[in-house]
Amino acid sequence: MSEIKLHQRLTLEIEKSAFEGKSIARKDGYVIFVMGAVPGDTAEVEIVKKKKNYSIAKVNNIIKKSESRTEPECKYFGVCGGCNWQNLSYQKQLEYKRDQIIDVFTKIARIEQIMVLATLPSPKIYRYRNKVEFSFGSSRWLTINEIQSNAEIKNKNFALGFHIPERYDKVLNIDSCLLQSEVGDKILNTIYHKALEYGCKSYNSRDDSGFLKNLVIRTSLNGGLIVNLITASVRERNEINFLNWYMESFTKMYNGDTTIVHSINNSSSPVAFREIVFSYGAGYITEKICDLIFKISPYSFFQTNSYQLNNFIDKIIDLSQLSEDLIVWDFYCGVGSITLPISQRVSKVYGFELSSSAIEDANINARINNIKNVEFHKIDLNSKRLSSYLNEFPRPDILILDPPRSGLHKNTINTILQILPEEIIYVSCNPATQARDCSLLLENYNIDLIRPIDMFPHTYHIESLALLTRKND
């Protein structure tokens, strides 16, 4: 094999999809992961990263288009990095997501044969997200078209949009996102122009300067709306003026089930604790899922594709043979979006969650729906003492797991292996960590099947439900 060099240009045939939205090509058997290509393409690529066993390349030119290739609808495609499968037909997206689950379970869990059902498609593939978080940036990313236009570029030090992949210091300024509602686009543009009008600056973590940090927009299918502006503490008069406009004039622009929130985050970390200092409206929105009403507060977790949620919950219920005499535990229960529908089919459900606001919302959701056979408890599921905390509760017949992308903590897995429920339903948004965790349970459990569910069209992200049943002693 001739040695691959950095910045070398090659003409390659793209063979298949790979995890995280890349595709795979080979040069004399050497693996090259290609960004921006579609399986079936013939492309001229440039090597941008070189490793011992593989390289990463970007597409410079498509020589022959794959039959699976489609024209992206978003004008920011290829730059923002959020929907890097818009150039791939939706049917192929579904197929490749299933293939990825098979691949990671084969490689990580080392299971050669596993039943993975067809991916359940989303009812909507655009405008499906009920929550989008935008970032303010003091260093705006300029597109190639902007640079080559020779036109005057304004507001280079102010942007509201998304961070450029692998360049967290740069933000792409956008005026629309095809994943959120049309009202979200209107809010995005209103906030952007008003912030400029009042002379507010974006936060710069390098020198702890600036004011504006994030804008989070949440919507519900029944017209509910939460607008959450996240800033550093007020330092300047113009910032006070902007907040006065936001808290007074902005609240008049939207009627109905609307909550306007201002939160403070004085940490340089965008995921640090954010204190709500102002809230106008009910303080939450509601969503109807499986004929149940759910209250969702500004910082409570809720699945982001409301259009797919009924199908999602139905498939979780279908995985197990639920009956009125069963006891169920729900780890990482959030606001009870899985717990409460399950409770209608079993004797008792216990939901466990670390977030205080989620537990508060879950209890309210139970009361709203007059559900009395559930209990919600605030517990650190990563704790070394987890098993002792759980001793006071009756042993579950079924355990539902819905952890964050990082998967299960080793203490959680150890506790599961002590409890040994008859069935485990593992809900995951990251097949790699799901496969890793399942492999640690294989001594006591069989993986009966996996059901992929597409909650995130046009992205490589996939939600998967795994049914594990306890082996006979």
Calpha distance 276→299 (Å, rounded): 10
Q: Rounded to whole angstroms, what are the CA distances from 435 to 81, 341, 464?
A: 26, 26, 11
Candidates 200, 333, 429, 438; catalytic one: 429
**DSSP letter string over 208-241?**
TB-SEEEEEEEE-TTS-EEEEEEE----SHHHHH
Q: How many CB atoms lie within 10 A of CB 433?
A: 18
Bridge partners (DSSP) of residue 331 are 352, 401
Q: Check residue 198 and report its DSSP letter.
A: T
Give which of 455, 337, 354, 332 is closest to 404, Cα–Cα. Answer: 332
177 is catalytic: no
User: Dihedrals φ, ψ of 351, to 5°?
Assistant: -105, 135
Furthest C-alpha separation in the chain? 74
Q: Under 8 Å CB-to-CB from 386, ≥6 apart: which residues?
A: 379, 380, 411, 412, 415
Calpha distance 372→360 (Å, rounded): 15
Answer yes or no: are the C-beta atoms of 332 and 352 closer than 8 Å.
yes
User: Dihedrals φ, ψ of 258, to 5°?
Assistant: -125, 135
Give which of 139, 205, 201, 207 is closest to 170, Cα–Cα. Answer: 139
Measured in whole angstroms, how far is the alpha carbon of residue 435 from the centre of its chain?
18
Identity at 225, one-letter amino acid code: L
Q: How many CB atoms lie within 10 A of CB 382?
A: 14
Tokens of 133: 């978080």
- Tallying the residues shown for the chain, one arrives at 473
Annotated catalytic residues are 429
